[in-house]
Amino acid sequence: MEFRYKRVVFLTGAGISAESGVRTFRDGQGLWENHKVEEVASPLGFKRNPALVWKFYSMRRMQANDVQPNPAHIALADTLHALGKAGARALLITQNVDTLHERAFGALPNKDFIDVHGTLSRSRCTKCNKVFSDRWAYFDGQQHVIAHHCDNLWSHPALPNLLTTPRRDPSGLPLSPCCSDLLRPDIVWFGEKPQGVERAIDQLTSCDLFVSIGTSGNVYPAAGFVTVARKAGAHTVSINLEPPENSAAFHEHLNGLASEKVADFLKKI
Ligand code: APR
């Protein structure tokens, strides 16, 4: 397969997963499922009440496990494979933690994929920061401890550092195999630094096509990636239900559902 572009960067946000039925957790009053955002998604919240945080993320893992990648995730995964085979350089940056890109791809090779806000499918040691693939929901919907491994979560191959039977503390919280200290979700919480931004910028400064899909363009640093790509001389395209907030920075805007527009657009690159 031949491609017009040889160095491509994709950026995705919540809109690409909307048609999979991924729930967003924030309502108008800064609450997630009746919890204050800072209680369940901040380092201080975790320090104060790790059980509440793990109950919340166990629920999110189970909800994510109930939804499937949609045609937009699949078209993007196929195109990344094809670009790689054709000798082009391609990078997918996502702001989503929902695991749907990972699952559409099988298991995304690290060099082609950056989840700047982390992912529900990893945990890390609170002591040494070692990262693990973690398919567990530790608490059920009634917030009771789940003692057994839930096999169907994140069942894609080639998971690095897979936690098979993590040790638990007496209250059911998971402990890291490396330091026997608490594990935490590998999610970028409020007040924390997004992951992999330097690597993203490196590829943005030399890309010839930048495509943003399903993101409102108001959360930085991702909202600024288009400007970096454009300065590098890339053609810049946004695919979204509505023009994003940073729409002035794009050469082209394609209005519509990701499940329809993404596959159509990718046929032309
Ligand atoms: N197809 C295409 N676009 C869609 C669809 C769809 N089916 N459904 C919704 N959209 C668009 C919306 O119009 C909106 O502009 O997707 C965009 C989603 O915007 P946000 O909800 O702001 O999501 P995102 O841009 O990913 O947010 C960035 O903010 O809340 C934090 O950390 C969170 O990663 C998230 C970050």
Q: Encode pLDDT of 106-116 as tens digits.
A: 766 667 899 99
Asked if residue 135 lies in contact with residue 123, where contact means CB atoms within 8 angstroms, the answer is: no
Partners of residue 32 on adjacent β-strands:
26, 35
Q: Encode pLDDT of 15-32 as tens digits.
A: 999 999 987 655 556 667
Q: At what angle do helices 71-85 and 258-266 cross, to 10 degrees?
A: 20
Write down the mean pLDDT value for the chain. Answer: 89
Looking at the domain 1-22+69-117+193-269, which fold is it?
Rossmann fold (3.40.50)
Asked if residue 246 lies in contact with residue 226, where contact means CB atoms within 8 angstroms, the answer is: yes
The reported pLDDT for the residue numbered 22 is 86
The CA-CA-CA angle for residues 241, 193, 16, to 5°, reads: 20
19, 219, 250: which to mutate for ligand 1, most atoms within 8 A of CB? 219
Nearest residue by C-alpha to atom 21 in ligand 1: 14
Q: Encode pLDDT of 117-157 as tens digits.
A: 999 999 999 999 999 988 888 988 777 887 765 554 555 54
Nearest-angstrom CA–CA distance, 233 and 133: 37
Looking at the domain 24-66+121-187, which fold is it?
SIR2/SIRT2 'Small Domain' (3.30.1600)
The reported pLDDT for the residue numbered 65 is 86
CATH 3.40.50.1220 residue spans of the chain: 1-22+69-117+193-269
Q: Encode pLDDT of 148-163 as tens digits.
A: 655 545 555 456 777 8
Q: What is the mean pLDDT of residues 238-263?
A: 95
CA 137 to chain centre: 18
CATH 3.30.1600.10 residue spans of the chain: 24-66+121-187
Q: What percent of the chain has pLDDT over 70?
A: 90
In short, whether 95's Cβ falls inside 6 Å of ligand 1 is: yes
Q: Encode pLDDT of 56-71 as tens digits.
A: 999 888 888 889 999 9
Q: What's the CA-to-centroid distance between 95 and ligand 1, angstroms?
A: 9
Q: What are phi and psi of 231, to 5 degrees?
A: -60, -30
Residue 198 has pLDDT above 60, yes or no: yes
> What amino acid is encoded at 213 in this protein?
I
Residue 34 has pLDDT above 60, yes or no: yes
**What is the H or E stretch that residue 263 is in?**
helix 258-266
The reported pLDDT for the residue numbered 24 is 65
Nearest-angstrom CA–CA distance, 227 and 210: 10
Look at 65-79, 105-119, 176-190 and tell me which has the smallest mean pLDDT: 105-119
